[in-house]
């Protein structure tokens, strides 16, 4: 264990935790062991919680316009985006950590009433039917209509980092982190029945146009941000806002994503 309590503060490492009991208890333990940098003096962040809290932390940086490397430790349920919880040797551990750059998707949504919204998504942008009626969605890729009508519960675009989340549950492909691809995956497609989705280069712009939107309302969700009653949604990767996650070398995100292909 690091014996110099002030070394972490001097290394400008800050500490955040989710609101859960387990994460708060872990934060108290670490604050008793070490001195941490304040918000304005932080170069690196240690985040305690689960995958949801990691996404929340990354979105806060996107909205604040200040990006710092984040080293997550799992005090949640799955912890796919997190490292193992340990209290010792933080400076050496973070110095040895493997940085992984993650670029978010940009979702630009226009509603039936004409309002416009822009949100970022680390994992996926999904379109979902709002009522019992099937959604009908036209899909264009780089300005060309590739699917005139998809009748479905919904459809999503996932990044490689998000390909093992909702995308995988919808039977979409797992994308290696270095693949420079996006997954376009239908959710419970009704027509055409045999369309299983597509894998597209990550410089592709995808446009969804909702057909019969007033009678068959559809919402668009960028991670946790929902826009209801959308008429059109444009999705593209925004490399200019890439974020950095830090992982223990033996527990890196790219290896974890690759091994998910062999999970049973």
Is residue 235 located within the same domain as residue 120?
Answer: yes
Of the candidate ranges 113-127, 201-215, 250-264, the one whose mean pLDDT is the lowest = 250-264
Q: Which residues pair with 46 in a beta bridge?
A: 15, 71
Q: How far is 52 from 56, CA to CA, in rounded Å?
A: 6
Is residue 43 located within the same domain as residue 144?
Answer: no
Do the beta carbons of residue 108 and residue 116 sit within 8 Å? yes
What is the average pLDDT across 215-240?
97
How many CB atoms sit inside 10 A of residue 226's CB? 15
Is residue 62 located within the same domain as residue 185?
Answer: no
Q: How far is 175 from 123, CA to CA, in rounded Å?
A: 12
Confidence of residue 5 (pLDDT cuts 50, 70, 90): confident
Q: In whole angstroms, what separates CA 53 from the centre of its chain?
A: 11
What is the average pLDDT across 56-82?
93
Is residue 255 located within the same domain as residue 199?
Answer: no
Strand runs (DSSP E) across 9-95, as ranges? Answer: 13-17, 44-49, 70-74
The domain that holds 246 is classified in CATH as: 3.40.50.10330
In the chain, the percentage of residues whose pLDDT exceeds 70 is 99
Q: What is the mean pLDDT of the chain?
A: 94
Q: Residue 253's pLDDT is what? A: 86
In a domain, 2, yes or no: no
Options 2, 41, 43, 51, the catalytic residue: 51
Do the beta carbons of residue 83 and residue 76 sit within 8 Å? no
Is residue 206 located within the same domain as residue 120?
Answer: yes
In a domain, 65, yes or no: yes
164 marked among binding-site residues: yes
Within the chain, what is the greatest distance between any pair of CA atoms? 65
pLDDT over 60 (residue 56): yes
Is residue 224 located within the same domain as residue 123?
Answer: yes
In a domain, 160, yes or no: yes
Is residue 120 located within the same domain as residue 208?
Answer: yes
In a domain, 1, yes or no: no
Do the beta carbons of residue 90 and residue 62 sit within 8 Å? no
Q: How far is 14 from 40, CA to CA, in rounded Å?
A: 9
In a domain, 201, yes or no: yes
Q: Residue 97's pLDDT is what? A: 95
Strand runs (DSSP E) across the chain, as ranges? Answer: 13-17, 44-49, 70-74, 98-102, 105-111, 116-121, 124-129, 135-141, 144-152, 154-158, 181-187, 198-201, 206-211, 218-222, 225-227, 230-237, 243-247
169 marked among binding-site residues: yes
DSSP collapsed to 3 states, 114-170: CCEEEEEECCEEEEEECCCCCEEEEEEECCEEEEEEEEECEEEEECCCCCCCHHHHC
Q: Is the pTM of this model over 0.85?
A: yes
Is residue 111 located within the same domain as residue 235?
Answer: yes
Is residue 251 located within the same domain as residue 152?
Answer: no
Of the candidate ranges 23-37, 180-194, 244-258, the one whose mean pLDDT is the lowest = 244-258
In a domain, 48, yes or no: yes
* More reliable by pLDDT, 220 or 9: 220
Is residue 140 located within the same domain as residue 186?
Answer: yes
Of the candidate ranges 117-121, 182-186, 194-198, the one whose mean pLDDT is the lowest = 194-198
Per the structure, the count of domains in the chain is 2
Q: State phi, psi for 2 to the nearest 5 degrees.
A: -60, 130
pLDDT over 80 (residue 1): no
34 marked among binding-site residues: no
pLDDT over 90 (residue 261): no
Q: Which residues pair with 63 in a beta bridge?
A: none
Instruction: Give the CB-side neighbour count of residue 227, counting CA atoms within 13 A.
Output: 25
Domain of 186? 105-239
Q: Residue 243's pLDDT is what? A: 96
55 marked among binding-site residues: no
Is residue 181 located within the same domain as residue 228?
Answer: yes
178 marked among binding-site residues: no
What is the average pLDDT across 167-176?
96
165 marked among binding-site residues: yes
The domain that holds 173 is classified in CATH as: 2.60.200.30
What is the average pLDDT across 144-164?
97
In the chain, the percentage of residues whose pLDDT exceeds 90 is 83
153 marked among binding-site residues: yes
Q: Residue 255's pLDDT is what? A: 85
- Based on the residue annotation, tell me whether 51 is a catalytic residue of this protein: yes
134 marked among binding-site residues: no
Q: How far is 108 from 233, CA to CA, in rounded Å?
A: 6
231 marked among binding-site residues: no
What is the average pLDDT across 66-75?
94
Is residue 258 located within the same domain as residue 148?
Answer: no
In a domain, 132, yes or no: yes
In a domain, 228, yes or no: yes
pLDDT digits over 6-42, tens only?
Answer: 889 999 999 999 999 999 999 999 999 999 998 888 9
What is the average pLDDT across 75-90?
91
């Amino acid at each position: 264990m690091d014996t110099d309590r002030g070394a972490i503060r001097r290394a400008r490492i800050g500490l955040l935790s989710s609101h859960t009991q387990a994460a708060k208890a872990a934060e108290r333990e670490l604050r008793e062991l070490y001195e941490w940098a304040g918000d304005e003096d932080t170069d690196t962040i240690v985040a305690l919680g689960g995958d949801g809290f990691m996404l929340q932390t990354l979105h806060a940086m996107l909205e604040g316009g200040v990006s710092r490397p984040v080293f997550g430790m799992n005090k949640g349920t799955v912890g796919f985006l997190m490292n193992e919880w340990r209290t010792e040797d933080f400076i050496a551990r973070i110095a040895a950590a493997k940085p992984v750059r993650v670029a978010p998707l940009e979702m630009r949504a226009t509603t039936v009433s004409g309002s416009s919204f822009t949100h970022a998504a680390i994992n996926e942008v999904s379109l979902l039917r709002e009522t019992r009626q099937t959604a009908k969605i036209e899909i264009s890729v780089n300005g060309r209509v590739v699917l005139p009508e998809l009748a479905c519960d919904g459809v999503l675009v996932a990044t490689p980092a998000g390909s093992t989340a909702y995308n995988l549950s919808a039977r979409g492909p797992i994308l290696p982190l270095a693949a420079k691809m996006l997954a376009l995956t239908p959710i419970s497609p009704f027509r055409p029945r045999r369309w299983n989705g597509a894998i597209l280069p990550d410089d592709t712009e995808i446009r969804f146009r909702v057909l019969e939107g007033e009678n068959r309302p559809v919402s668009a969700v960028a991670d946790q941000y929902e826009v209801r009653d959308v008429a059109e949604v444009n999705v593209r990767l925004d490399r200019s806002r890439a974020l950095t996650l830090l992982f223990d070398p033996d527990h890196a995100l790219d290896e974890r994503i690759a091994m998910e292909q062999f999970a049973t």
